[in-house]
Structure 1
Amino acid sequence: MAGAAARPSLAQRRRAALRLEIAGEAVRLFTSQGVTATTGEEIARAVGISSRTLWRHFPTKESCVLPLLSAGLDLAVDQLASWPPGMTLLDFVTRSSRSGALPPAAPAVLDLIRMTSTDPALRAVWLQAHDDALPVLAELLARRSGGGADALGTKVHAATLNGALRAAAEEFAQRYADDPEASGEEITACVLAALRAASEGLPY
């Protein structure tokens, strides 16, 4: 019964699917003609919905991409949920890569992450996605440590992990801008490099 209760309803699944479709069309238009030149009405038309429906889901045209940015973080959190006790985070990420648990990044997502470095409004959405993930990461780390999600140490650790994931995603998107065949192994290399830097602490 608990599993059935936790499963999203049909309406929720349809809403999530529509939001992802809107995000995909927004990225396609942003990439092909630029963010400034793209209107919310064009995004709605590309999806086949009214502008009114679009604005019910998203407050701005830039925020339309949030579901795509959040999806990668949701995947990372889902992976971390199966992190075994007694195993370091670096070892877990390495094992996940070897087992094929980390899929290649979608080209549209990489295009989007690259655009966040030059467009302030998209940057704000990218940072919002990570800000939304912070309490989820804090809860995950709190369960692992037996501490509280509101404890300062837990919040610092969650912010550190969050920042490492963001830096790794940005590094991967920039490094492999011209290599659409880049695989999960390259993603893992960037994640591990960022996590190592985080685990070393501040050398100042």
Structure 2
Amino acid sequence: MPDGRQTEVQAPGRGRGRTGRPRLTEQRKAEIRLEIARAAVELFVAQGVAATTGEQIGQAVGVSSRTVWRYFPSKESCVSPLFAAGIDKIAACLREWGHGRPLEEALAPALDIGGRVGGPGIPELRELVRLTRTEPGLRAAWLQAHDEAEPAFARALAARAGLPADDVRPVIQAAMLNAVLRAAAERDAWGGPAEVGAGLAESFRSALAVAEAGLS
């Protein structure tokens, strides 16, 4: 985690911004976005979305609120990098999914059914998805993530099967998988109390078992 110093994105120049400090690399910018996303989730879960400010999110990772708004148009959109990271991991697993291998096993590195899910831990993910039911801004970010996931999954499934990117089969398969993952996460998060981690893991297992026949 940052040491509390304020981090700013520097203006263009010959390797340095107006302050004389080196400009941030694209990799570092991505890291800061992810740090902001994780801090936002923790604050939303701990104190609610309405009570959370951009300044609080920035303070949690040692950046200014100005930097937070430079990266994100709203506090709710701060969670988007976590969703994007999950999409990328699932797509990578789909490309490497060997024929005859169980779907649950293939996606285990991305969903990490035994522990963590691509960014926050399972308890944080469960609480974040729970908040999407009542928070319109988070709901929009959640649905936008699934809109972006579908073509990414379709490209991965097409590559796996050696099919053209515009073939209808991987497109339909991707839509089904996308719906399955969303339904599993929402069913668990919007249901009653569950054992920490176990409820979401079991929801993914059950949903993937239903989907596997149509994807194999």
- Please tell me the residue identity of whatever aligns with 2:172: V
Identical amino acids, percent of aligned pairs:
46
Aligned residues: 184
- Structure 2 distance, partners of 1:194, 1:145, is 22
Residue 54 of structure 1 and its aligned partner are, at CA, apart by 0.9
TM-aligned CA deviation for residue 176 of structure 1: 7.9
1:82 maps onto 2:96 in alignment = yes
Aligned position for 2:207? 194
Would you say the 8 A contact 1:110–1:177 is kept in 2?
no
Secondary structure of the structure 1 residue equivalent to 2:165: coil
**Which residue does 1:93 correspond to in 2?**
104
Contact between 1:135 and 1:149, CA under 8 Å: does it hold in 2?
no
For residue 132 of structure 2, what is the amino acid of its counterpart? T
> 1:34-113 to 2 correspondence within 5 Å?
34-85=48-99, 87=100, 91-94=102-105, 102-105=113-116, 106=121, 107-113=123-129
Q: Kindly state the Cα deviation for residue 148 of structure 1 after the two structures are TM-superposed.
A: 2.2
Does residue 14 of the first structure (1) align with residue 28 of the second (2)? yes
Higher relative contact order (CA 8 A, sep 6+): 1
Q: Secondary structure at the match of 2:25?
A: helix
Note if contact 1:142-1:148 (Cα within 8 Å) is conserved in structure 2. Answer: yes
Residue in structure 1 matching 2:43, options 16, 25, 29: 29
Supply the distance in 1 between the matched residues of 2:205 and 2:81 (Cα, whole angstroms): 25
What is aligned with 1:134?
A: 150
Query: Structure 1 residue 94: deviation in Å?
Result: 4.2
Distance, in Å, in 2 between the alignment partners of 1:168 and 1:73 is 15
CA distance in 2, matches of 1:29, 1:173: 18
Q: 1:146 Cα shift?
A: 2.7
RMSD (Å) for aligned C-alpha atoms:
2.8
TM-score by length of 1: 0.76
Match of 1:118 among 134, 137, 147: 134
Counterpart CA distance in 1 for 2:210 and 2:150 is: 19
In structure 2, the CA distance between the partners of 1:144 and 1:132, relative to structure 1 (3 Å rule), is same
Structure 2 unpaired stretches of 5+: 1-23
